[in-house]
Amino acid sequence: MNVVLWILQGLLALVFLAAGAGKLAQPKEKLAANPNMAWTEDFSQPTIKTIGALEVLAAIGLILPGLTGIAPVLTPLAAVGAVLLMLGAAITHGRRKETKPIVINVVLLILAVVVAWGRFGPYAF
């Protein structure tokens, strides 16, 4: 199960790193031009940058503490943070009547819940 959790952590980290880096690197106008990022119209530039930074921090927190052995409790906490991000994303997409992105949010949420459960519980570092 430890290997499965590492795989899930790696997948989640890749997704959150890519999503967060994209939000940090591009201006709001460019993000809003993408049909999958239309939700950015409802948020200010600093809020979008904050979401991007939180996603990058979640990616780092999912991998680095377990890899280095330094403060490994941060890994399940990062997974809880990812759960909260995905809850917020699903709520935002639900309010905008965007159903397709909600599926992705729910899948990522479930994966993050599994990592949090495993790393807080029976498969802690």
Element (DSSP H or E) covering residue 65:
helix 45-68
d(CA 100, CA 94): 10
Q: How many residues does the chain have?
A: 125
User: Are the beta carbons of 61 and 20 closer than 8 angstroms?
Assistant: no
Q: Estimate the share of the chain in helix, then strand, then coil, as percent rounded to the nearest 5.
A: 85, 0, 15
In contact, 59 and 85? CB cutoff 8 Å? no
Query: pTM of the full predicted structure?
Result: 0.94
Six-digit token pair at 116? 């949090």
End-to-end C-alpha distance for the chain, whole angstroms: 12
89-124 residue pLDDT tens: 999 999 999 999 999 999 999 999 999 999 999 999
Q: Token match 């809880």: residue?
A: 80
Q: Summarize pLDDT for 2-33 with one digit per residue, the tens.
A: 999 999 999 999 999 999 999 999 999 999 99
Query: Whole-angstrom Cα distance, residue 92 to residue 80?
Result: 18
